[in-house]
Amino acid sequence: MAKPSSAEAKGDQFPVTLSAPAQGFRRSFKNAQEVHNFLSEEVRFWSDLASRADGVAFQSAGKPLLNVSGQQAAHRAFDSTNQQPSAANAAAALRELLDSGSILSAGKQGKLLAKLSEDVPPSTPYVAVGLAAELQPAIVQGIGQARIYTTDFAAAMAGLSAAKGSGAERHQLDSLLAEVSGLKSELEHAKLDFNEWRSSEEARWSNAVAEFAASHAKTTETTSDGIGAFLHKAAEKVDAAVRTSEQRVSEFLRTSTEETEKFKKQVRQNVVNEVPTTFWNAKAEGHRNVAAGAALAFLLVAGIGVYILSTQGVPLVASAFHTIGGDQSESALLALVPLAFITIPALAFAWVLRHISRVLVQNLSLGADARLRGTITSTFRALAADRPMSEAELAIALQALFRPLEAKDHAEISPPNLADLLKLDK
């Protein structure tokens, strides 16, 4: 769970630290000017989004959605710090900005919103309130009909920001967003056309009724009833057309939600399948590094042993022979005594080399096994990517992947020769 957002200052002294883990943002302000510059950037960010919102189909909902997404909060915080530029007031203004669920332009949601406002301008207000609702769900209460559209937009945007999917999947989401915006625009234009037609017809018929009523009062009453019935029927037909359009929009949004859920499920499956391959590759790399270190240690110890025996062994034996034997006649027997000075170190070096070689061989074997398991995992991912796996195929893959190591790989063995090392490293 992400840590809660905060804006804190040490008493009435700078710096003031602003932290919003849910948006991937943290910054420390050393003075009031830095706070002022930051809030100026936030106000400019929302002003740019508001200018793009002027061209969307649902102008009546666009700017209110931006207001609840952070536009009003950014202006309030900016005005508050201008009136009283103290550390405590700056911290309080930034804290109010976070509590309102405002999207920060430098956070990950703000960067995503800026990009989408350039690529798909009609979706800007709805994407903004969807992302804000992800940070502060309570802000969508009371928005009214706009709540119908924010939920699926929030799900689509969350999937698009977290996924590592292909370009085709991203293009599919962009197409869904563009089509939904088109349907909304069509519905809004239908409502506007009906309102204009009804206003013009009411004005025309009102003028006709007024002129006719001056000379024919009784005929006027009958005509008014007919006009009222006509307008009533026309209103019913237009309302039916509007309801049909709303049903189409709702059905399309439901379908887009299902496709978005499938996309999110595929992304999660790809991440789950990628973890075992990464683990076995890292394990093989670790065993390879240990084997390389053991090989270097083996060469170093062997070289030191050969050097010491070749440079110090003969003088040591000669000195020990003269010291112990002197001029005695049994020199052949006395020569065996100084040989102990050579035999014991030689055996010690051999013992050390034996254990180093054992570490080398075991890590080469374990590294080869880890690479094999990583290959099995990659192959299984490739086979399972485009078609479902049967239980028998899954059992074979799991048996190969989780088989126990061979006992001979960890048994007590003699140091390998060059052919064995080359065979294990394949």
Same domain, yes or no, for 155 and 279? no
Tokens at 278, concatenated: 């990464």
Contact 255, 226 (CB under 8 A): no
**Domain, as residue range, for 338:** 275-424
Q: What is the pTM of this model?
A: 0.36
Radius of gyration of the chain (CA): 40
DSSP string over 23-58: GTEEEEE-SHHHHHHHHHHHHHHHHHHHHHHTTSS-
Same domain, yes or no, for 286 and 158? no
What is the rounded average pLDDT for all residues in the chain? Answer: 71
Within its chain, how far is the Cα of 405 from the centroid?
36
Phi-psi group of 144: left, alpha or beta (phi > 0 → left; psi -120 to 50 → alpha; rest → beta): left
Is 257 within a domain? no
Place of tokens 């240690």: 297
Q: Which of 162, 180, 205 finishes a domain? A: 162
Torsion angle defined by CA atoms of residues 378, 380, 384 and 389, in that order, rounded to the nearest 10 degrees: -170
What pLDDT score was predicted for residue 216?
A: 64
Q: Residue 90 contacts by C-beta under 8 Å, 6 or more apart in sequence?
A: 9, 14, 16, 29, 32, 35, 81
Within its chain, how far is the Cα of 255 from the centroid?
24
Q: Which of 133, 162, 191 finishes a domain? A: 162
Structure confidence by residue, pLDDT tens digits, 134-188: 777 666 554 544 444 444 444 444 444 444 445 554 565 556 556 545 655 665 6
Is 368 within a domain? yes
| CA atoms of 14 and 21, how far apart (whole Å) | 21
Does residue 122 have a pLDDT over 70?
no
- Of 178, 198, 181, 238, nearest to 58 by C-alpha is 181
**Better-scored residue on pLDDT, 330 or 363:** 363
In whole angstroms, how far apart are CA 134 and each of 100, 128, 149? 12, 10, 14
Same domain, yes or no, for 133 and 280? no
**Better-scored residue on pLDDT, 24 or 53:** 24
- 355-394: b or e for each residue (b if 16 or more CB lie within 10 Å)? ebbbbbbbbbbbbbbbbebbebbbebbeeeeeeeeeeeee
Is 195 within a domain? no
Mean pLDDT of 370-377: 81
Structure confidence by residue, pLDDT tens digits, 295-312: 898 889 888 888 887 787
Which of 242-246, 260-264, 362-366: highest mean pLDDT? 362-366
Same domain, yes or no, for 155 and 24? yes
Structure confidence by residue, pLDDT tens digits, 191-212: 677 778 778 877 887 787 777 6
Is 254 within a domain? no
Q: Residue 407 contacts by C-beta under 8 Å, 6 or more apart in sequence?
A: none
What pLDDT score was predicted for residue 44?
A: 87
Band of pLDDT at residue 62, cut at 50, 70 and 90: very low
What pLDDT score was predicted for residue 310?
A: 77
What pLDDT score was predicted for residue 296?
A: 92
**Better-scored residue on pLDDT, 109 or 401:** 109
Place of tokens 């010491």: 308
Place of tokens 């009283």: 84
Does residue 252 have a pLDDT over 70?
yes
Sign of the alpha-carbon dihedral angle for 242, 245, 251, 256: negative
DSSP string over 376-409: HHHHHHHHHSSSPPPHHHHHHHHHHHSPPPPGGG
Is 47 within a domain? yes
Judged by average pLDDT, the poorest of 38-52, 77-91, 231-245, 311-325 is 311-325
Is 153 within a domain? yes
Q: What three-state secondary structure class fits 70?
A: helix
Look at the chain and report how many structural domains it folds into.
2
Does residue 16 have a pLDDT over 70?
yes
Q: Which of 97, 130, 162 finishes a domain? A: 162
Does residue 90 have a pLDDT over 60?
yes
Report the interhelical angle of 87-99 vs 32-53 (nearest 10°): 30
Judged by average pLDDT, the poorest of 81-95, 142-156, 252-266, 334-348 is 142-156
What pLDDT score was predicted for residue 77?
A: 76
Is 17 within a domain? yes
